Amino acid sequence: MRFSANPGVVLAWLVPANALLAAAGVGLGLVLLDDPAAYFRELMPGTLLSAAHLLAAALVARAIHRRDPRDRPWFESFWGLSAVLLSALVVVELTQPTILLSKWLQNDVGVRAPSAFVDVDGLMVALLLIVVAGTLVVRSLDVLRYPRALAPFACAAALGATSQYLDATFRVSAWQFVLEDGAKALAGPFLLAGYLLVLRAVVREQSSG
C-alpha cells in the first residue's frame, strides 16, 4: 500500500535499476559465458525479475478490485481480470510452456509458422498476448476513469509490443534475445506504475468519501 502513495518514485527507481541490471547482466554473460543473453535465459535473473514485475502488478490489480465499491465478480472488472491474467503470465514466464509446445508441434506434428513469423513459439506467444489484450479491452472503460494511468499503461504496451515483435519476426540470436527481453524488462515498471496510480486514486476516493 505504501508504494501506491508515490508511483512516480517507484517508476523513477525501477526503470534505471532494471536498465543497469540488464547492462551488467549482459556484460557478465558476455565475459563469463560468452553469451550476452545469459541474464535473460530461462529462470535466470532477468526472467525472474520480469515475473516479479508481473506478480507485483497482479497483486496491485487484486487490491484495486477488492476496493471496487460496485462489488463486481472478478470477470466483470478490468482489475479482477488483470489480477487473474497477470498471474497466469507469471506462470508462463517462469515455465515457458510455449517453447515446449512449439517444439512438439514442429517436430512431431509438422506445424510450421507463417512466413511473417520466425518460429511457432513466436506465433504462439503473439496469439497468447492478443487473447490477453483482447480480454482486457472488453473491460477497458474501467481504466478511462483514471486518465493519469493511461500514459504508463501505454508505455508498457508499446514496450511489450516491441518485445513481442522482435521475438516473433527477427532471426533468433543472442543479441536479438537481449533486445527482446530488454524491452520487456523496461515494460514491467511502467505496467506496475500504472496499477499503482489507479490504486492511489481508489484509496483517495475512499478516504474522501
Distances (CA, A) of 38 to 45, 91, 173, 206: 9, 20, 12, 46
User: For 151-179, what is the mean pLDDT?
Assistant: 91
Segment 73-131, tens digit of pLDDT = 999 999 999 999 999 999 999 998 877 887 787 777 777 777 767 777 777 788 888 88
1 pLDDT exceeds 60? no
**Confidence (pTM):** 0.90
Please provide the distance, in angstroms rounded to a whole number, between the alpha carbons at the two ends of the chain: 19
Burial group, residue 203, by CB count within 10 angstroms (0-12, 13-18, 19+): middle
Beta carbons within 10 angstroms of residue 209's beta carbon: 6
Exposure letters 34-46 (e unless 16+ CB within 10 A, then b): ebbbbbbbeeebb
> Is the pLDDT higher at 1 or at 128?
128
Least confident interval from 39-43, 75-79, 106-110, 192-196: 106-110
Q: Record the cell numbers describing residue 72, joined without a space.
A: 463486481
pLDDT band at 42 (very low <50, low <70, confident <90, very high): confident
Q: Record the cell numbers describing residue 67, joined without a space.
A: 476496493
Angle between helices 45-66 and 7-33 (to 10 degrees): 160
Beta carbons within 10 angstroms of residue 6's beta carbon: 13
